Structure 1
Amino acid sequence: MSDSDTKTLCAHVEEKLHTKDPQAYIALIHPASHYCQGCGRSAAKAEHVCRPQKLSE
Structure 2
Amino acid sequence: MSDNNSKTLCAHVEEELQVKDPKSYLALIQPATHYCQGCGRSAAKAENVCKPKKIS
With the length of structure 2 as denominator, give the TM-score of the two structures.
Answer: 0.97
The 5-angstrom pairing of residues 3-14 of structure 1 reads 3-14=3-14
Deviation track 1:6-57 (CA, whole Å, cap 9, x = no partner) reads: 000000000000011110100000000000000000000000000000000x
Q: Which runs of 5+ in 1 are unaligned?
A: none
Q: Structure 1 residue 52 and structure 2 residue 20: aligned? A: no
TM-score by length of 1: 0.95
Q: Does 1:26 align with 2:26?
A: yes
CA displacement at 1:2 relative to structure 2:
1.4
Over aligned residue pairs, what C-alpha RMSD do you find? 0.5
Q: In proportion to residue count, which structure has more helix?
A: 2
Structure 1: which 4+ aligned runs deviate by more than 2 Å? Answer: none
